[in-house]
Amino acid sequence: MSKRENPFVPIYRKINGGTNQEKYDMIKNGDVQLPYYLDVELTNFCNFNCCFCPTGTKAMQRIRGHMPDNVVDAIAENVKKYNIPAVRFIRWGEPTLHPNYLSILEKVKNAGALIHINTNGSLLDEAQIQKLLDMHLDSIKFSFQGADEGTYNEMREGGDYLRLLDIVRKFHEMRGERDYPYIQISTTLTGETAEQIEGFKSDIGDYCDYYNVGYTKLNHLNVDTMNIDEEEKKKIRRLQEHETINHTFRPVCVEAFDKLSINWNGDVTLCCGDYDNFMLVGNILDMDFKQIFNSRAADIYRDAIAKMQYGKIKCCSNCYETVPLTKGE
């Protein structure tokens, strides 16, 4: 793999320092008044039905849709107005399903932000890849699952491991010697062997700048309430038995004090794990970034998190440290 630098690293280093209380004090004292970056959900539709995801299991109850133009415009205007350094197009859907995702990325890029996109890769073709390269996309992450064709296809209904490998290789080939975009690959495991992990690293290692192998989070799934068939419920229960996440709370939150997450309809939450509007603090059509970031609603959550009162907040109550099993660059 090459030695390209992830353009987001300076931001990540900044937010990974300090304690929850120190972060909270900086906001209360006015030293920090804006998010360092944004997570933006272009859509909460997905073309996969992943058994570990609230989107795929239909656990998500909020209305589904694609981000409309007025929300896009509000984001771009606020990015420019407040010089927001970076925007990641991720959250609870497949961004490339949005019919205008390419023009939206370019619009936010032109507003002055670094831009990153997470994707399952399934919809990318050469024409789209070329447009992403032409707009100087800064970073892209391809999301895998498991460590080989069998484990990927079991967890990601609608996906195809071998086809995704081909797409990643094509993207890497078309990028060529450009410095951008930074290519990342991530996967999470549920009981795969060391041999399978080494095989996965061999499959992807030459086609990315960084890879991350972590653990699949399944403890949050309440199988009995899911609108899925009995065979799918049995599969999830079996996989839950093999979950290997260490149920230790994160010592420092990099969500509530450092960024804002924006849903497709403009609703803003403080948590990346909030799939059903549990921690809303405003809407970008009613308030601007600075008002939302410093709102009373945000302060109530931050106060509890600073005091490590995770059990009081639904999204925090099962947010565990997921230190990577292995990573490389």
Contact yes or no for 233/266 (Cβ under 8 A) = no
Contact yes or no for 140/181 (Cβ under 8 A) = yes
62 in a structural domain? yes
> What is the Cα–Cα distance from 137 to 129, expressed in whole angstroms?
10
Q: How many domains does the chain have?
A: 1
Whole-Å CA distances, 302 to 21, 208, 314, 315:
9, 36, 14, 13
Q: From 52, 18, 15, 10, select the one nearest 260 (Cα to Cα).
A: 15
1 in a structural domain? no
Contact yes or no for 45/64 (Cβ under 8 A) = yes
User: Which amino acid, 87?
Assistant: V
Q: Look up the pTM and report it.
A: 0.85
The pLDDT value given to residue 282: 96
The pLDDT value given to residue 232: 57
The pLDDT value given to residue 244: 53
pLDDT in single tens digits along all 329 residues of the chain: 457 899 999 999 988 888 999 999 999 999 999 999 999 999 999 888 776 676 766 777 899 999 999 999 999 999 999 999 999 999 989 999 999 999 999 999 999 999 999 999 999 999 999 999 999 999 999 988 878 888 887 777 778 889 999 999 999 999 999 999 999 998 877 666 778 888 888 888 899 999 988 765 555 555 555 555 566 556 556 555 555 555 556 678 888 899 999 999 999 999 888 888 888 999 999 999 999 999 999 999 999 999 878 777 877 777 765 544 444 55
2 in a structural domain? no
Tokens of 188: 């999470």
The pLDDT value given to residue 214: 72
Q: What is the CA radius of gyration of the chain?
A: 19
The pLDDT value given to residue 327: 47
Strands 114-119 and 139-143: parallel
Name residue, tokens 């601007």.
Answer: 288
> What is the Cα–Cα distance from 37 to 55, expressed in whole angstroms?
24
65 in a structural domain? yes
Name residue, tokens 């209904």.
Answer: 157
| CATH code: domain of residue 182 | 3.20.20.70
Q: Which domain holds residue 130?
A: 9-328
The pLDDT value given to residue 56: 66
Contact yes or no for 209/175 (Cβ under 8 A) = no
Tokens of 148: 């080989």
Neighbours of 113 (CB within 10 A): 21
The pLDDT value given to residue 243: 54
Name residue, tokens 């032109």.
Answer: 110
